A and B are shown apart, each in its own frame.
Chain A
Amino acid sequence: GAGVSQTPSNKVTEKGKYVELRCDPISGHTALYWYRQSLGQGPEFLIYFQGTGAADDSGLPNDRFFAVRPEGSVSTLKIQRTERGDSAVYLCASSLAITGELFFGEGSRLTVL
C-alpha cells in the first residue's frame, strides 16, 4: 500500500518501560509529523521533521520523549520510563510540503499499565 504505515498498531507496556513507535511515511513526502490523541480530544502536536532534521519539537512533553528520522524517511518516536499518562493513540502523518495535506497513519495505541 502507498499510505502511511505505523507499527505496532497496539502496544501494552508496564510503567517504567521503554517504547519505540515506528512510522513509514508515503514515499517522497519530506514532511513528517507526530501527534498524540487522547480519547475525545483533537490531535496534539508533538514534533515534525523536514527531511532528517526536526523542524519543530516544541510539542514534546518532556525529555522522556525523543524522535528521530535518520535517513529522511522512516521515523521512530521513543518514549523512556513510560508513565500511565502516556497512554494515548500516537498518530503519524506525512505531507509532500509543509503546508500541504496531511496523510495520517492508522495510529499506534499505547497503553501503559
Chain B
Amino acid sequence: GENVEQHPSTLSVQEGDSAVIKCTYSDSASNYFPWYKQELGKRPQLIIDIRSNVGEKKDQRIAVTLNKTAKHFSLHITETQPEDSAVYFCAATDSWGKFQFGAGTQVVVTP
C-alpha cells in the first residue's frame, strides 16, 4: 500500500521568508497529490493540489511541485504571513481513491 513521509515535522520561519515542506510517496500508481491546512481545533482544508500529468502548479503565494521519477512533491509558501501558521498535511492517492496522509508539518511564522 501507499506510504507517505513528510518533512520537516516543525518549521519556524520569519515573516516574509519562504517555507518549503517535502513529501515522498511509495506507490508509483499514485496520481493525485493534495495539500491540506489545519488550524488549531479546525478541520483540514484543501489549499492546493496537483495531478501526475503536471509538474508544477501555483496559486498566488503557494506552489506545489511534483517529481514523479523520484516520487516526491513539495509545497512552497512565499512571503509568509502570520496567518500561514498552521499544520500542513500532504496526501497521495491512486485512481482507487484511498488517500494516505503524511504526519504533518507544524509551521510557525514569527513576526
Contacts and interface: CB of A to CB of B under 8 A. Distances in A.
Given A42-B6, A99-B32, A105-B43, A33 B99 contact: yes
Contact of B89 (A31, A42, A97, A105): A42
Contacts of B6: 42
B99 A56 contact: no
Contacts of B101: 35, 42-45
Contacts, number: 58
Interface size class of A (residues with CB under 8 A): 20 to 34
Nearest to B9: A40
Contacts of A106: 42-43
B29 to A, nearest CB: 12
B96 A55 contact: yes
Interface residues of B, number: 24
A98 B97 contact: yes
A56 B104 contact: no
B46 A50 contact: no
Interface of B: 1, 6, 31-32, 34, 36, 42-46, 49, 89, 93, 95-104
27 contacts: A31-B97, A35-B101, A42-B103, A43-B44, A43-B89, A44-B101, A45-B99, A45-B101, A48-B97, A55-B97, A56-B97, A56-B98, A58-B98, A91-B43, A98-B95, A98-B96, A98-B97, A99-B31, A101-B34, A101-B46, A101-B49, A102-B34, A102-B44, A104-B43, A104-B44, A104-B45, A106-B43
